[in-house]
């Protein structure tokens, strides 16, 4: 990405669970940020021409032999440094201070007592609430540092060396529980580092178009379009850059939601006038899945057949030089270890993997600098409808893993109708954007019902809605009773194959978000 025109701040990752959140908070200030392993050489950081460095927290103790340390030359680069939690401790230790493990540790909320004015705490209220999570803490400041703020259990909660522009906080300003945390990060990034707040989706589009054109030249790019957020935004961005040099392949595997194939063809083929190749492979997938009920077997069959179908269709598209993928920044971060180095591994459930040997394509990943929320903002900027941009996550195998048991055309059509009613009702109630993911499953279980004047013996469906930050953990959404009642009533009245509706209240863990 053409980032030379933008100021940036780098986050050194010491293994913290909040490293991505720190980078996102910096970007919310309008400044580009990226995450690099803690042991990235100072010379490499110098070449990145950053205006500030943030040391993340981390799970290790600085007192443990072999605990992570940054390149000591980082402190000679002449750029401001902010150490957070473990980052404060390791900076203090390396610059001549001491760190101990006191008897009283701090986990949870605390209030800081501000002892002196500091550029880092400009506009922060006395006794401001912060989020603590530490065992070790600084017991003696490094030479040149002065005390800024403390708490009853932490004598050196905020410290600074204003001359060298080194700052440290023992709490986590990046989390929402630290009420003035965003202001502190903003003070560091904009005032102390002097960064320009010019990182936004408008500037990203201009940079991305320039990069795509420079990379692609007069060659052609292939994109697997699924109708999901990432592939849709990537396709529209690339199309904006190179027009008909982009060739999109849309595979209908028969596992799509109600009217989804028609909607994709309408939006991208007609509205955006893309060069779109449509492969209706529903029969092939259903034939391959006949009699299969084991979840992992279904996933493998759907995944392999999709790849085969995609490449078969791609071979009809003429000479192709690049394969576009909707890889996001978290995918890039997860593909390398914070304590190791970069990896070329791409998560197979996010992207089309396994290039056949006769297809010598280069990867084009225009979204690899962005977090999911930024991709959604980019999609809006590019003119994609809100209904698509804000869409809940949808599994690669589609309804094939929500049709529990054997997958048949009849059962999929039943599930499509159930899913459509559920989504329609939560949208109507204004709840869709409050929910991380809403889904319906059709169970291989039948129950007796009374519908009209006759007894029925039909299948059971379950509705599920969860809240989450990153899908690693999730809690069930407390759906209002009146919404559940409308969903159940409509499903039993309008969907011929279902006579009983359940609502799943299992959290993750112990359950998963999807049933299969």
pLDDT at 335: 60
* Span 454-478, average pLDDT: 90
pLDDT at 338: 39
pLDDT at 339: 39
Closest C-alpha to 251, from 290, 224, 219: 224
Q: Which of 85, 403, 461, 487 is catalytic?
A: 85
37 bridge partner residues: 13
Q: Which of 29, 172, 248, 374 is catalytic?
A: 172
Distance, CA of 406 to CA of 515 (rounded, Å): 14
Query: In the structure encoding, which two tokens stand for residue 255, read together?
Result: 């596992």
* Span 156-176, average pLDDT: 95
pLDDT at 3 over 70: no
The string of pLDDT tens digits covering residues 488-516 is 999 999 999 999 999 999 999 999 999 99
Is 85 annotated in the active site? yes
| Summary mean pLDDT of the chain | 90
Half-sphere exposure of residue 70, counting CA atoms within 13 Å on the CB side? 38
pLDDT at 342 over 60: no
Closest C-alpha to 84, from 185, 176, 8: 185
pLDDT at 351: 45
CA of 236: how far to CAs of 275, 314, 395, 441, in Å? 11, 19, 21, 32
CB distance 127 to 111 below 8 Å: yes
pLDDT at 285: 97
Confidence band, pLDDT 50/70/90 cuts, at residue 230 = very high
- The proportion of the chain whose per-residue pLDDT surpasses 90, expressed as a percent, equals 77
CB distance 32 to 3 below 8 Å: yes
pLDDT at 354: 53
Q: Which of 6, 106, 134, 174 is catalytic?
A: 174
Query: Mind giving me the DSSP string for 452-471?
Result: TTEEEEEEEEEEEEEE-SSS
Q: Tokens 């392993």 belong to which residue?
A: 37
Distance, CA of 122 to CA of 185 (rounded, Å): 11
Is 248 annotated in the active site? no
pLDDT at 298: 95
pLDDT at 37: 93
* Span 79-100, average pLDDT: 95
Cα distance between the two ends of the chain: 37
Distance, CA of 277 to CA of 488 (rounded, Å): 38
* Span 210-227, average pLDDT: 94
Confidence band, pLDDT 50/70/90 cuts, at residue 355 = low
pLDDT at 194 over 70: yes
pLDDT at 347: 33
Half-sphere exposure of residue 451, counting CA atoms within 13 Å on the CB side? 18
Helix residue ranges, H only, 58-149 = 86-94
In sign, the C-alpha dihedral spanning 446, 447, 450, 451 is negative
Is 239 annotated in the active site? no
pLDDT at 332: 78
Distance, CA of 197 to CA of 218 (rounded, Å): 34
- Higher-pLDDT residue of 30, 471: 30
Q: Which helix (H) or strand (E) holds 69?
A: none
Closest C-alpha to 280, from 256, 258, 251, 308: 251
Distance, CA of 178 to CA of 127 (rounded, Å): 11
- Beta-carbon contacts of residue 75 (< 8 Å; ≥ 6 apart): 81, 91, 94, 95, 164, 166
Query: In the structure encoding, which two tokens stand for residue 331, read together?
Result: 């995918």
- Higher-pLDDT residue of 103, 237: 237
Pairing of strands 166-169, 221-224: unpaired
Which region among 79-88, 286-295, 341-350 has the lowest average model confidence (pLDDT)? 341-350
CA of 355: how far to CAs of 150, 253, 368, 396, in Å? 56, 20, 20, 18
Distance, CA of 382 to CA of 233 (rounded, Å): 8
pLDDT at 471: 75
Distance, CA of 373 to CA of 488 (rounded, Å): 32
């Amino acid at each position: 990405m053409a980032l030379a025109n933008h100021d940036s701040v780098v986050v050194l990752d010491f293994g913290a669970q909040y490293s991505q959140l720190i980078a996102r908070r910096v970007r919310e200030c309008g400044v580009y940020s990226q995450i690099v392993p803690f042991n990235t050489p100072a010379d490499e950081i110098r070449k990145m021409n950053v205006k500030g460095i943030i040391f993340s927290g981390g799970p290790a103790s600085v007192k443990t032999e072999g605990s992570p340390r940054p390149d000591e030359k980082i402190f000679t680069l002449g750029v401001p440094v902010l150490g957070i939690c473990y980052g404060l401790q390791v900076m203090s230790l390396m610059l001549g201070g001491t760190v101990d493990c006191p008897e009283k540790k701090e986990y949870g909320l605390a209030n800081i007592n501000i002892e002196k004015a500091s550029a880092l705490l400009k506009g922060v209220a006395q006794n401001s609430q912060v989020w603590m999570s530490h065992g070790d803490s600084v017991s003696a400041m490094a030479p040149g540092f002065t005390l800024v703020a403390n708490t009853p259990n932490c004598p050196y909660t905020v410290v600074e060396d204003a001359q060298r522009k080194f700052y440290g906080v023992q709490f986590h300003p990046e989390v929402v529980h630290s009420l003035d945390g965003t202001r502190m990060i903003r003070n560091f990034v904009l005032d102390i580092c002097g960064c320009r707040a010019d990182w936004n989706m408008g500037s990203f589009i201009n940079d991305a178009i320039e990069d795509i054109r420079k990379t692609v030249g007069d060659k052609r790019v292939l994109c697997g379009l699924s109708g999901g957020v990432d592939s849709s935004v990537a396709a529209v961005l690339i199309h904006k850059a190179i027009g008909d040099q982009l060739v999109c392949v849309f595979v209908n595997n028969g596992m799509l939601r109600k009217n989804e194939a028609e909607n994709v063809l309408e939006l991208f083929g007609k509205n955006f006038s893309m060069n779109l190749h449509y492969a209706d492979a529903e029969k092939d997938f259903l034939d391959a899945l006949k009699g299969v009920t084991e979840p992992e077997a279904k996933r493998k069959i759907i995944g392999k057949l999709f790849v085969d179908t995609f490449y078969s269709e791609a071979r009809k598209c003429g000479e192709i030089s690049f394969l576009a993928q909707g890889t996001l920044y978290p995918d890039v971060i997860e593909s390398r270890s914070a304590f190791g180095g970069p990896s070329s591994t791409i998560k197979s459930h996010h992207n089309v993997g396994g290039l056949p040997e006769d297809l010598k394509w280069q990867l084009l990943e225009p979204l690899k600098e962005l977090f999911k929320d930024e991709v959604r903002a980019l999609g809006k900027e590019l003119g994609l409808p809100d209904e698509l941009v804000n869409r809940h996550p949808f599994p690669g195998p589609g309804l094939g893993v929500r049709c529990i048991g054997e997958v048949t055309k009849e059962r999929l059509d039943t599930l499509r109708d159930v899913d459509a009613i559920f989504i329609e009702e939560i949208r109507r109630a204004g709840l869709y954007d409050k929910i991380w993911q809403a889904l319906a499953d059709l169970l291989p279980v039948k129950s007796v019902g009374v519908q009209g004047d006759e007894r029925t013996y039909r299948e059971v469906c379950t509705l599920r809605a969860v809240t989450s930050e990153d899908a690693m953990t999730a809690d069930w959404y407390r759906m209002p009773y009146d919404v559940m009642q409308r969903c159940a009533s409509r499903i039993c009245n309008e969907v011929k194959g279902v006579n009983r509706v359940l609502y799943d209240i299992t959290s993750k863990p112990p359950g998963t978000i999807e049933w299969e």
